[in-house]
């Protein structure tokens, strides 16, 4: 197939592009390089089945495609709060352009939504039937509400225009090629540990997250895209749950660092718990994360160490 990946030079987008090319597909990666990097796909540039185009999805585009994966949006608080208006435009206008293209070319389109649509959840773990607890005017709203609106656009295009859609609600994902300064907890801890700095934990460190290794997440995206029907939004993540203190201690052990743990106030609207209910993905297409946290962190630390040299 001919497959368009918006945000194709980003962290997850580059791994997805790599897998799709390896499977024999033609891949066109669109990226404006705000958070993506050409280096992430440098090893693919000589492959005749891969094409990289610099483009911002808030402007119209036309590319013949059988499948569209829409991953174009900054996904860490540091980046999406840098220009919140731009973040909202990327989520909504970019989604609209993908859907219009899908309607025109009869492509199937997958939206990389997020667990942030659940906000600071009052239901744990979070099933797809939970409507969320989101502050619509808080500092994270540009991302949270942008993604929620993108989901609404997807479903309305499906109902009104019969566009084939898939919605993936992605929980915390980590792995090689994460940006050093993206503000995500895994990359923050690894960089601090490798530099010998103290690891910064916000709040009391007892808030939890669930971490999926990028290879497992990509397998879930492909499985969802190729499932024969739209079954509503689907959670993709690893249900293994860890406190921030547990994660910090594991990173210190795996890096062999002498770093200590320090504490700072919890940011506004930062969720206290986050764990996916992946029962629907398991039942529909056999999704099952395979990488345990220790193994995934080891591979990620090796990548960070090599790039930091």
Strands 208-210 and 199-202: unpaired
Name residue, tokens 């929620």: 148
Question: Which one is catalytic: 69, 80, 118, 143?
Answer: 143
CA distance 162 to 104: 11
CA distance 172 to 274: 9
69 is catalytic: no
> Could you tell me which residues come within 8 angstroms of residue 249 by beta carbon, excluding any fewer than 6 positions away?
261
CA distance 286 to 281: 7
Measured from the Cβ of residue 45, the count of other Cβ atoms closer than 10 Å reads: 11
Q: In Å, how far are 76, 282, 307 from 239, measured between CA atoms?
A: 20, 12, 29
- Ramachandran region, residue 232 (left: φ > 0; alpha: ψ -120 to 50; beta: rest): left
| Residues assigned a catalytic role | 143
């Amino acid at each position: 197939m001919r497959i368009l990946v918006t945000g194709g030079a980003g962290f997850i987008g580059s791994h997805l592009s790599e897998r799709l090319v390896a499977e024999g597909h033609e891949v066109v990666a669109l990226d404006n390089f705000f958070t993506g990097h050409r280096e992430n796909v440098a090893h693919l540039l000589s492959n005749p089945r891969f094409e990289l185009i610099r483009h911002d999805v808030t402007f119209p585009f036309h590319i013949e495609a059988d499948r569209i994966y829409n991953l174009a949006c900054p996904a860490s608080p540091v980046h999406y709060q840098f220009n919140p208006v731009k973040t909202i435009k990327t989520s909504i206008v970019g989604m609209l352009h993908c859907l219009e293209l899908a309607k025109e070319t009869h492509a199937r389109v997958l939206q990389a939504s997020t667990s942030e649509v659940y906000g600071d959840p009052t239901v744990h773990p979070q099933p797809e039937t939970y409507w969320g607890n989101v502050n619509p005017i808080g500092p994270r709203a540009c991302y949270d509400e942008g993604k929620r609106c993108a989901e609404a656009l997807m479903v309305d295009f499906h109902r009104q225009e019969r566009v084939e859609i898939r919605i993936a609600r992605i929980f915390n994902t980590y792995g090689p090629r994460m940006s050093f300064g993206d503000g995500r907890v895994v990359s923050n801890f690894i960089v601090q540990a490798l530099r010998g700095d103290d690891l910064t934990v916000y709040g009391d460190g007892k808030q939890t997250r669930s971490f999926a290794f990028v290879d497992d997440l990509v397998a879930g995206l492909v499985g969802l895209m190729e499932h024969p029907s739209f079954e509503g939004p689907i959670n993709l993540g690893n249900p293994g749950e860890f406190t921030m203190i547990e994660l910090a201690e594991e990173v210190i052990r795996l890096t062999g660092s002498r770093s200590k743990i320090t504490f700072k106030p919890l940011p506004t609207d930062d969720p206290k718990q986050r764990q996916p209910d992946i029962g629907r993905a398991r039942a529909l297409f056999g999704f099952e994360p395979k990488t345990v946290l220790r193994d995934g962190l080891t591979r990620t630390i090796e990548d960070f160490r090599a790039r930091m040299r």
